[in-house]
Amino acid sequence: DGGITQSPKYLFRKEGQNVTLSCEQNLNHDAMYWYRQDPGQGLRLIYYSQIVNDFQKGDIAEGYSVSREKKESFPLTVTSAQKNPTAFYLCASSIGAGQRYNEQFFGPGTRLTVL
Amino acid sequence: AQSVAQPEDQVNVAEGNPLTVKCTYSVSGNPYLFWYVQYPNRGLQFLLKYITGDNLVKGSYGFEAEFNKSQTSFHLKKPSALVSDSALYFCAVGVSGSARQLTFGSGTQLTVLP
């Protein structure tokens, strides 16, 4: 988990609320990613960013939003439009935006629970 | 489209025995293949990767994986399992020259019995 921090570790949300998950990296990586993990489904890509001020939708972007105003930060907002947000959220980063053979480094994750 | 299959949700092995965690993939183009390990309530840790070259890749903690192009497989192996190897293992694939990001398998829970 070194070099990537996620906060909070646990997050509880009431229905209809937006919440923001923090992801910070000090690895000087260009690319950053957000994944959602559900039991038995592996990791699914929500959004990714290859460079500051640019990001693309992944496979399950509906109900989520991101920003990339700084190289080291990639916050994820879970909006009220996300119908089933309870999951484990993982942030990752990798060295080169165009070098997809570089491994991704993962943060420790945030567990979001909707009450 | 690219996809990864980990056909076994659960693998049990006795400590000291060899272990294998299976992974098969489907891509259009040359694949990049990765193995990651996840301990409970933690992020994923990188174990090893295949980009090109030698089909046998050695990684962290004594793990290795063999790339088999004809069988489109990338099985993870270790000659002698430890109880501390018990964790959730993920295989992932990317494609050279593609804008598509990594696709992860559904994971295999490895339990090493003492």
Is the dihedral angle over the CA atoms A23, A24, A25, A29 positive or is it negative?
A: positive
Number of Cβ pairs closer than 8 Å across A and B?
A: 59
pLDDT at A64: 97
Instruction: Report the CATH number at residue B65.
Output: 2.60.40.10
Taking an 8 Å cut-off on Cβ atoms, the answer to whether B90 and A4 are in contact is: no
Per-residue pLDDT tens listing for chain A (115 residues)? 459 999 999 999 888 899 999 999 999 999 999 999 998 788 999 999 989 999 999 999 999 999 999 999 999 999 988 889 999 999 999 987 556 677 899 999 999 998 8
- B22-52 residue pLDDT tens: 999 999 888 999 999 999 888 999 999 998 8
Mutate to test the interface with B, among A29, A34, A95, A100 (most CBs of B within 10 A): A100
Joined together, the tokens standing for residue A53 give 């001020």
DSSP one-letter code for B55: S
Residue of B nearest to A49 (CA): B101
Taking an 8 Å cut-off on Cβ atoms, the answer to whether B105 and A103 are in contact is: no
Supply angle C-alpha B64, B65, B71, rounded to 5: 165
Are residues B88 and B38 in contact, defined by beta-carbon separation less than 8 angstroms? Answer: yes
Listed range (A31-35, B56-60, B98-102) with the worst mean pLDDT: B98-102
pLDDT at B100: 66
Which of B90, B101, B107 lies at the smallest CB-CB distance from A45? B101
Average pLDDT on B72-101 reads 91
pLDDT at B62: 95
Joined together, the tokens standing for residue B1 give 């489209």
B80 has a pLDDT exceeding 80: yes
Instruction: Give the DSSP letter string of A81-109.
Output: T-S---EEEEEEEES-TT-TTSPPEE---
Are residues A7 and A22 in contact, defined by beta-carbon separation less than 8 angstroms? Answer: yes
**Residue B37 CB-half CA count within 13 A:** 17
Which residues are within 8 A (CB) of B33 and not within 5 positions of it... i.e. 6 or more apart? B23, B25, B49, B50, B65, B67, B74, B91, B92, B93
Count of structural domains within chain B: 1
Measured between CA atoms, how close is B43 to chain A, in angstroms? Answer: 4
Which residues constitute the domain of residue B64? 3-113
Q: Which has more pLDDT, B41 or B71?
A: B71
Coil vs helix vs strand at A54: strand
pLDDT at B53: 85
The CA–CA distances, whole Å, from A38 to A43, A72, B23 equal: 7, 26, 19
Coil vs helix vs strand at B60: helix
